[in-house]
Each structure stands twice: as C-alpha cells, then as structure tokens.
Amino acid sequence: MGIISSNKKINVDTMKCDGTARVSLAITAAPDILENPADIVLVLDRSGSMSGTPLASMKEGAKTFIDIIDEATDGNKDGQIGSGSRIGIVSFSDTATVNAPLITSVADLKSAVDSLVAGGSTNHADAFFQASQLFTIPSSSQKVIVMFTDGKTTSGSPPLPVAEAAKASGIVIYCIGLIGSDGIDVSVLNAWASDPDATHVAVTPDAADLEELFAELAANISKTGATNIRIDEVLNSDFSITDIGQPNKGTVSMSDPQTIIWTIPELGVSTTESALLDFGIRHITNTAGLKKVNQSITYTDNEGNVVIFPDPSVMVDCDIVIYPEECPEPVDLSVDNCRDASIVDLGETYMESLGRIVEVSATIKNICPGKRVAAAIILTETDEEGMEYQRGMKTFTIPSHDGPGCRDVQLKCIKFVLPEDLNPDEHPEGSICTKRNLKARVIANQLDTDYRCCESVVTL
C-alpha cells in the first residue's frame, strides 16, 4: 500500500457574504517502485547560508530519504537499494559536484551526504546540469531529480532553461525549499518543478521540518498507483457549488448543491500522473467569521491508499443586512442532467397589488455603533421630454448596531408598485410592455448625533 500525495487550495483568504471563490483539488500517484524502478538524484544545497543547523537537518533528511527508498525497493532496510533502482548525490555551491554516481550502496550514499561542508554562493543551473548528466546512460528506469535549496540563485547561468530541458527529456523534478537567510522565491521552485506544483514542491521556514519533508517525498516517489478512485467532497453549509471545471482525469458529478463526487478509473499505474479539478463556490449565509470550506472529504481506491486532503478556511466578512420589507421566500429547484426542460410547482402566491413591481437595494456606508439612521428612498419616472414624476417614497428607521466600529448596512428588497404608462392613450394595447425610465434617490440622516462618529455616505 502506498501514499498518494494530495492538495486542496482556495484562491482567496477573505471574501464577502454572497462572495465567490475557486477551490482546487490535486492528487498525484506513481507506479510501485518494486515493479517500476527509479533512478533518483538528490541535489543538495551546501552554500554558505546552510551553515550550522540547516546543513545538519538537511543531512538527516537526505539519509532518511535513502533509508525509505532502501526499504521500499525490497521490503527490508538491508543497506542495498533493490529492484533495479539507484540513488545518486549531487551537491552545489559556487559549482556543482557529483558526490556519488547512481549506485545502490546505502553506506556509500550516506557517506557522501555526511561529507558535505557549507560554503560559497548558490549555482542552481550547474546543479541541474550535473544531475541531468547522471541520466545520460540509457535506462528504462524512471528518472527523478530531488532539488533541495535554501536560497535564491547568486551565481552561474539562469537555472530555468536547464530545468526545462531536463523535464523535456523525461526527468521528473521535485523541489524542497528551506526559507533560509538568503530568502527563497517559491514561484521559482514552482517553475523548476514538474506539474502540478501542489504535489512537486514543499517549502518550510523551519530546518527541523526537513527530515519530515524528505520522508514524505520518499514515500511519494516509492508509492503504488491507484485504481477505482472515488473522492467525495461535501461543502460546509455556508457554501454552495456554483460551477465545476472539467477535470483532466476522470469524471465529476454533483449529488446536491454542496456535494461533488469525483471518480478516476486509474492513476499512476504505469507512470507518474496527476489529477486536477477546480470548482466555484459561493457563500450563501449571513454569518461572518473564519469558515472551513468543506464539511468532509473522503478518498477511497482499490489499493487501500490513505489520502488526507488539507482543510482550508476562508475569512468571511458580512455587512449588516436589514430587510425593511419582507422578501418572498425563495423556492429551490433544479434541472436533472441531460434535461432541457423541467416542470416545478412553486406553490401559491397571493395578489399584492396592480402594476409592475420595482425592487431596489441600497448600501449606507459607515454607520457607527449605537446610532440609529433615518433613511428614505424616492422613486421618480422621466417622460420622453425629460419631465420627472413622483412614483413613490419609502422611509425607514435603521436600528443601531453594536459592532466594533463603523459598518456598512445594506437595505434589501424594497419594493415599489408602478402605475401604468405615463400616457396610456398612446399605447392603448399592451402598455405594460413599454420602456420605463426611472430614477431612485436615497437620503440618510443620523437620528442620534455624536460628533465623534464618522459621517455616513450612501451608495445605491
């Protein structure tokens, strides 16, 4: 049984009530290293910024990686990389050095790692070049480069063309980044690594995490593929699904507005493969705060792989909403797959008044705590000669709120009933179908004066 790497992201950190966002899911699977051997080159940064704890942590992480591959290839930690797989070591600072070619001796590999000494600048281009050269002898094994670095390029040629050439030749590139004294540009690691970034790039600010990152990556590389995959994503009740993108693998369906079912027949059975899916969500309640996107997400496959997706959250900011008049209750309806028509009974509706109805909303800005506001909405209609006619005015007292500061308040679902056309004699038949030219004005004044408070501004 293997471990399949996974990721889940939301493209925003904050959103408004009724706001939208996009969620992405990614999983990567690879063949079992027992049946599909791999040649792996560990490319290790030994520049000056790695002195002390970072170098020591990197060495422990690299040796843990070697041990995991040792056990994965033959079921035992017997000191030999088995089943046709091999590991090589390349280190770099001002230039890159091959510390160990592609070999199977665990002792020799660990000795090469232990011999590394920090010093010098950072030449990523030469590191990628020297690692790629270890694959020049023809082999049917999967080719993998694991690049570890703690900083930006400070010497040598631009590394991106060398990394791109390596990927074009069939080499899979993973990147591990330590946010060291030189800083690190995650977008650069994403550009160097194979796609998707979510499963091929890992970054940490803490050298103590390096051993765990190397271990996770070794498990990812040595894992088995998966068949008959099913992922059930259930959103938190604060959100609903707005749309679903076409996944690059498998098929996806919705069982209700909160639930996605993604099925993939197989992934990573003969070569490393990644599956990607993105979908849109909308916030549908009036409650603010830090909200988890999903209520639950489960993964199953025929091989019994265990996959745990991240659990992202988003901060929802809701304006205060007041409904001066009662809004009609919405009725949920849906159209089944492959149906171009649907018949829905929306229930009983009682006649309220004659004429057409105009419904407006407005936002009153910067209402401070403890202050009531008097508001009025005036509706007028303009004829073809520019004359304005009164069509109605509605007034409201907006209650005070006890928020931590001045807040925006929304007035929603304010309805006006329009009489028939201004000159029905010109349109005796079907006057209700004529165009109407309307203007709406909003007036707002504080009822409780406090000169320490901010001034209210109205937007319509």
Q: In Å, how far are 323, 328, 331, 342, 453 from 349, measured between CA atoms? A: 20, 10, 12, 20, 44
What span, in angstroms and rounded, lies between the C-alpha atoms of 221 and 66?
12
- Backbone phi and psi for residue 47, each to the nearest 5 degrees, phi listed first: -70, 170
Share of the chain above pLDDT 90, in %: 48
Of the candidates 281, 243, 279, 255, the residue with the CA atom closest to the CA atom of residue 336: 255
User: Residue 339 forms beta bridges with which residues?
Assistant: none
Which tokens belong to 221?
């590389």
DSSP string, 240-256: EEEEEPPPSSSEEEEEE
Q: What is the pLDDT of residue 1?
A: 36
pLDDT for res 2: 42
* Mode of pairing for the β-strands spanning 171-178 and 438-446: unpaired
pLDDT in tens, 317-365: 887 767 676 766 777 777 777 666 677 777 777 665 556 788 888 888 8
DSSP 53-70: HHHHHHHHHHHHHHHHHH
pLDDT for res 8? 86
pLDDT of residue 93: 97
Radius of gyration of the chain (CA): 32
Residue recorded with tokens 């007028």: 380
Q: What is the rounded distance in angstroms from the CA atom of residue 161 to the CA atom of residue 165?
A: 6
Lowest mean pLDDT among 100-104, 159-163, 309-313: 309-313
Identify the pLDDT of residue 453.
47
How do residues 355-384 score in pLDDT, each as one tens digit? 678 888 888 888 888 888 999 999 998 888
Instruction: Give the mean model confidence (pLDDT) for residues 137-155.
Output: 91
Average pLDDT value over all residues in the chain: 86
Among the residue ranges 107-121, 161-175, 191-205, the one predicted with the least confidence is 191-205
pTM of the predicted model, to two decimals? 0.50
Which of 227-236, 369-378, 444-453 has the least mean pLDDT?
A: 444-453
